[in-house]
Amino acid sequence: MAISTALWSFALVVGLLTLTPGLDTALILRTSALGRRRRAWGVVLGIQSGTLLWGALTSLGVTALFTASHLAYVTLRWVGAAYLVWMGLRMLRDTFRGLPGGGTDESALLADTDSFAGGWRQGLLTNLLNPKMGAFYVAVLPQFIPAGTSHFTMGLLLTSVHILMGLVWSAVLVGFARVLHGWLRKPQARRLLDRITGTVIAAFGVRLALGD
C-alpha cells in the first residue's frame, strides 16, 4: 500500500468516525452554546491531545497491552465509566440547584467557567479514559501502515490526519453552537441543555461500564 493511498483510506475511516455524533460532539456543542468559547476550544484541543497520545502509544505498541491484558482494559473501562457518570450526574445536579442558569450576572458566570485550561483537562480526561479509543487505534491503525515504512512515524502521520479532521469538524460545531447562544441566555434553556447533555454523558458512562 502506497503512503498516499494509506492516508486517503484512513481519512475516510476516521472521517466517518468524526462525523458520528457522540460524547465529544455533546461536550463541544454544550460548552460552545453556553458562550464559553475559550473553554470550548480547550475541550477541543484536550480531545485532540488525547487522540495524539493514543496514536503515539499505539505506534509504539504500548496500547496493545490493553488488548493483551483483560484486567488492564477492564480497569480503564470502569475508571472511564465512573468519570463519565460522575460528570453527567454533577451536571444534572447543578441544574436542580439552579446552576448554571440560576445566576443573574452572565459576565460573572462566564468569568468563572470560561477557562481554557479547565476545558483542556476535561477534553483530555474524557478521551484518555475511553478505552474504546485505544482499542480502535490498536485494531485499525496498523492496517494502514505500509510495509517498509517507520511504524512510529507513519502512525503519527495517520494520527495527524485524524486530528486535523477533528479540528475542522469541531470548528463547524463551535460555529453552529453560536447560533444557539441567544436562546441559551434564558436560564430555563440553559438548564434544559445541561439536563440533556448530562443525561447523554451519564448514559455513555453506563454503556461503557456494561461493555456495549
Give this prediction's pTM. 0.76
51 located within any domain:
yes
14 located within any domain:
no
84 located within any domain:
yes
C-alpha cell at 62: 504500548
Among 139, 137, 146, residue whose Cα is nearest residue 4: 146
Domain that holds residue 124: 3-9+23-210
**How many structural domains is the chain composed of?**
1
- Does an H or E element contain 123, and which? helix 116-128
Output the pLDDT for position 65.
64
Among 191, 178, 169, 199, residue whose Cα is nearest residue 35: 178
Output the pLDDT for position 180.
73
CA dist., res. 137 & res. 197, Å (int)? 27
154 located within any domain:
yes
Output the pLDDT for position 67.
61
Output the pLDDT for position 105.
39
Residues of the chain where predicted confidence (pLDDT) is lower than 70: 1, 63-70, 72-73, 98-113, 183-185, 211-212
17 located within any domain:
no
18 located within any domain:
no
The Cα-based distances of 87 to 12, 71, 205 in angstroms read 32, 24, 9
C-alpha cell at 201: 454523558
Output the pLDDT for position 116.
92
C-alpha cell at 118: 479547565
Instruction: Compute how many other C-beta atoms are within 10 angstroms of the C-beta atom of residue 1.
Output: 12
Judge contact between 54 and 172, C-beta under 8 A. Answer: no
Output the pLDDT for position 56.
92
15 located within any domain:
no
CA dist., res. 80 & res. 11, Å (int)? 27
The alpha-helical segments, DSSP class H, found in 97-183 are 106-113, 116-128, 131-140, 151-181
72 located within any domain:
yes
- Which DSSP state fits 34? T
